[in-house]
Chain A
């Protein structure tokens, strides 16, 4: 089998990348999706709040996905469901497995990585105690409640105030469970403010910042958890322990890009994001292999995933059409509060008129400035009322500005107090 572009993952990133590549003139596109339907995690995100940027209306996850699925079908883009990609080789051969075709190999002209992300597990946190049933990642609980119609528990404590945790606090409450508390290790929430309002405040669910679970009780099924306040080093403070009886502990403690396949490819990775290093075209360090969506870095909003994936699809099409130029790269550096930037490099010859640089900050900043410098010269100085690690930021860089600065080597993005 031969395809111009093989897209690994049929979630929001994969779908948008596919439609964009098709609209940019590529015919032979194949999406490989491991689940039994397209749409990825959107299928279980049945809450509203998606699509305000992309469609200018507020949709639920399944509705947002359906818009793209319809498009995929209308554009006759091929896809295979229930198909797991096992390996991607350096010469762009994709090995995949499913029930109907067995094990098969595809030669790809270009590959778009769109595998999304997974949740951090209890083990990664080393929460002490027993190992009973009733400890779930928030996403697993979301699947049970929203897709299968089962309640994983009746009395719930949630650790981590990431968006999935907040959303699940509301979903579990609406479906009849008692959510006793949401504990957050950090002194600020990792989720969107509006989710704290409409998922916790609406239902009187307390959010305990700077708190963590120090012990899980119960040998067979969870019977309770101990919560404790943490100090500035995130270590539990003795004497602050509080016991909460519950039958379920949901964990919403972060997402990790799912880069198992990428790792085998030996492309350069960014430790901060756990995603691959990419240039302005969202191309990884391996020529013709692109990445977009949560496999690249974890996004807060699907709309941004879509935007990024559209760019990746377009660039992959350019690559197939041979419109790609080799040139010199300008490095992007995040510092003074900016933890990373996507992309990491810009080749002005390949960039569009405007390139969006996304980044996250490492702390909460109030009334501060996002500053962008071309080498030593500051070119952007933008005031922000609040910057928080839970919310992705971006700056838009214009091609004309970059070209105007001769011999530009480095673009630095930092947070300034004034």
Chain B
């Protein structure tokens, strides 16, 4: 039996979680105040993931950059590849929240989507 202490990043509460592992599998999670904590602990100990956010350039818009994010969380080890793929990306205005900027970032099936409205200049 292996024990791990984690801080849940599911919400700003930051619950302190104690996780019991057996054979690479999470067998027990304690300290969470909601189901998210349980989920997070299991994921974090087996396949940790994160949402990645950044900004990319916009052509012809009222502002120079549009903020973007991964539509859902991606494996932690893909973060660097994700950022590299965003390098040099330029989109044309108008941009709407939810517009897909890149399909399937870093060999995942997660899209990069816009998180801000950018009107035409």
- List chain A positions with a Cβ less than 8 A from chain B: 37, 43, 46-49, 52, 58-63, 66, 145-149, 174-176, 192-194, 196-198, 202, 300-301, 385-386, 391
- B97 to chain A: which residues have CB within 8 Å? 62-63, 66
| B9 within 8 Å of A (CB atoms) | yes
Stretch at the interface among B18-26, B60-68, B103-111: B60-68
Seed contacts A61-B67, A149-B55; 13 additional CB < 8 Å A-B pairs: A37-B63, A46-B53, A46-B69, A46-B116, A58-B51, A60-B115, A62-B115, A63-B115, A147-B55, A149-B57, A174-B79, A174-B83, A194-B12
How many pairs, one residue from A and one from B, have CB atoms within 8 Å of each other in the complex? 80
Question: With A46-B115, A48-B51, A66-B117 in contact, is A146–B64 under 8 Å at CB?
Answer: no
What is the distance, in angstroms, from A195's C-beta to the closest C-beta of chain B?
A: 8
The one of B8, B12, B52 in contact with A174, judged by C-beta atoms closer than 8 angstroms, is B52
User: Does B51 contact A175, Cβ atoms closer than 8 Å?
Assistant: no
| Interface membership of chain B positions 1-23, coded 1 if the CB is closer than 8 angstroms to chain A and 0 otherwise | 00000111111101010000000
- B50 to chain A: which residues have CB within 8 Å? 198, 202
- A61 to chain B: which residues have CB within 8 Å? 67
The one of A145, A174, A197 in contact with B7, judged by C-beta atoms closer than 8 angstroms, is A197
Ordered by A's residue number, 28 sampled pairs between the chains whose C-beta atoms are within 8 Å are A37-B63, A46-B53, A46-B55, A46-B67, A46-B69, A46-B115, A46-B116, A60-B67, A62-B116, A63-B97, A63-B116, A66-B117, A145-B55, A147-B65, A174-B52, A174-B54, A174-B83, A175-B54, A193-B14, A194-B10, A194-B11, A194-B12, A194-B14, A197-B7, A198-B9, A198-B50, A300-B12, A391-B12
User: Does A146 contact B9, Cβ atoms closer than 8 Å?
Assistant: no
| B76 within 8 Å of A (CB atoms) | yes
Assembly CA distance A43 to B14 (angstroms) = 25
- B115 to chain A: which residues have CB within 8 Å? 46, 59-60, 62-63
User: Does B54 contact A46, Cβ atoms closer than 8 Å?
Assistant: yes
User: Does A62 contact B14, Cβ atoms closer than 8 Å?
Assistant: no
List the 4 closest A-B pairs by CB distance, nearest first.
A193-B14, A46-B67, A194-B9, A62-B116
User: Does B67 contact A52, Cβ atoms closer than 8 Å?
Assistant: no
Assembly CA distance A147 to B50 (angstroms) = 22
- A385 to chain B: which residues have CB within 8 Å? 16
User: Does A192 contact B12, Cβ atoms closer than 8 Å?
Assistant: yes
- B55 to chain A: which residues have CB within 8 Å? 46, 145-147, 149
Chain B residue at minimum C-beta to C-beta distance from A63: B115
Assembly CA distance A377 to B12 (angstroms) = 33
- A149 to chain B: which residues have CB within 8 Å? 55, 57, 64-65
User: Does A301 contact B69, Cβ atoms closer than 8 Å?
Assistant: no
What is the distance, in angstroms, from B60's C-beta to the closest C-beta of chain A?
A: 15
What is the distance, in angstroms, from B64's C-beta to the closest C-beta of chain A?
A: 6
Assembly CA distance A66 to B116 (angstroms) = 7
- Enumerate B20-55 residues with CB–CB distance to A below 8 Å: 50-55
Chain A residue at minimum C-beta to C-beta distance from B10: A194
What is the distance, in angstroms, from A383's C-beta to the closest C-beta of chain B?
A: 13
User: Does B64 contact A197, Cβ atoms closer than 8 Å?
Assistant: no
User: Does A60 contact B69, Cβ atoms closer than 8 Å?
Assistant: yes
User: Does A197 contact B83, Cβ atoms closer than 8 Å?
Assistant: no
- A198 to chain B: which residues have CB within 8 Å? 9, 50
User: Does A197 contact B117, Cβ atoms closer than 8 Å?
Assistant: no
- B6 to chain A: which residues have CB within 8 Å? 197
What is the distance, in angstroms, from A43's C-beta to the closest C-beta of chain B?
A: 8
User: Does B63 contact A147, Cβ atoms closer than 8 Å?
Assistant: yes
Assembly CA distance A48 to B16 (angstroms) = 21
Assembly CA distance A392 to B42 (angstroms) = 28
Chain B residue at minimum C-beta to C-beta distance from A58: B51
- A202 to chain B: which residues have CB within 8 Å? 50, 76, 79
Assembly CA distance A58 to B52 (angstroms) = 13
Assembly CA distance A175 to B104 (angstroms) = 20
Assembly CA distance A147 to B55 (angstroms) = 7
